[in-house]
Structure 1
Amino acid sequence: MTDSIPAGFIPWLPKSQFMRHLTDLGAFYRREADNVLALRVNAAHGNMHGMAHGGLLATFADSALGFVIAEQAHVSVVTAQMSVEYLNAVKPGDWLEAHVQIDKQGKRLIYATCLLQVEGRSMLKASAVFAVRHAAVPASDG
């Protein structure tokens, strides 16, 4: 297993409080040139079969989609729908990259696709619809 980080990637700290908890399991990275997000999969990301947990992969894809959409479309979004296809097992030591493409952008909805890849091989495909937020989140009472 290698711990090296490929050239061009810098640490990425998600804004989401939930995603920040996942950084306890391992750091996230970003390549600013093309908004690719990545992580080095390790044993802490695993399921009982020794491969990356499907929930982690889906969460990573969802977060990458939201982040890239917000960056490219300059809007605040929330996930309205997401479907996930698990294509191949992701193993400890794998450098996992999230490649996002906006498929269609409207005023209220944005459609996008995320491919999680290891060395150019697709491991997961997520297709999602994001709702554009036009109002601020209400303040919490407690």
Structure 2
Amino acid sequence: MTDSPPAGFQPFGVTDGFIGHNGPYYWRQDSTGQLEFGFQTDERHGNPNGVLHGGAVLSFLDTILGHAVVTGTQRPCATISLDSRFIGTAAPGEWVGGRTTVRKLTRSFAFVDAEAFAGDRLLVTATAIFRIFEGEPRK
């Protein structure tokens, strides 16, 4: 395990509440301009089987999915539905990365996908629907 994120990553803006407990999370822009997110896992993210707990990875994906919606709309949102598929496992201590894809934005809803990976191993894919609200997102 390393104490610092991979090159180019900077701290994610939100560090309070559950995000702060599960993270810290980080982000960077890759060579194609797409945002990539990540977090350094440790023992608190593990389960009794010696691998990452699915809830730790899903919390990370829910956070970056919501971030994609807020960034795309400049409005607050909330998760309505989060469908996940667990593909692989990782051990506590591994760096977990994630990417999002916004499929469709309407005035009231966002349809977004995400994936989490450790190295070149796909861990989880997710599809989500978010409710978009009036107003500006919390700073």
TM superposition score normalised by structure 1: 0.83
Quick check: 1:11 aligned with 2:42?
no
CA deviation digits over 1:9-41, x for unaligned, max 9? 012242662212324xxx221114533210111
Conservation of the 8 A alpha-carbon contact between 2:75 and 2:135: no
- Aligned amino acid, residue 53 of structure 2: H
CA deviation digits over 1:84-112, x for unaligned, max 9? 11110121232111100001111111100
The residue aligned with 2:113 is: 113
The residue aligned with 2:101 is: 101
In structure 1, list runs of 5 or more residues that go unmatched.
137-142
1:62 and 1:129, CA in 2 relative to 1: closer, same or farther beyond 3 A?
same
The residue aligned with 2:123 is: 123
Quick check: 1:28 aligned with 2:64?
no
Q: How many residues align?
A: 134
Residues in 2 aligned to 1:15 and 1:40: alpha-carbon distance in whole angstroms: 14
Conservation of the 8 A alpha-carbon contact between 2:46 and 2:53: yes
In structure 2, list runs of 5 or more residues that go unmatched.
none
SS in 2 for 1:52: coil
TM superposition score normalised by structure 2: 0.85
SS in 2 for 1:47: coil
Residues in 2 aligned to 1:104 and 1:124: alpha-carbon distance in whole angstroms: 21
Q: How far is 1:121 from its partner?
A: 2.5
The residue aligned with 1:139 is: none
Q: Percent identity?
A: 25
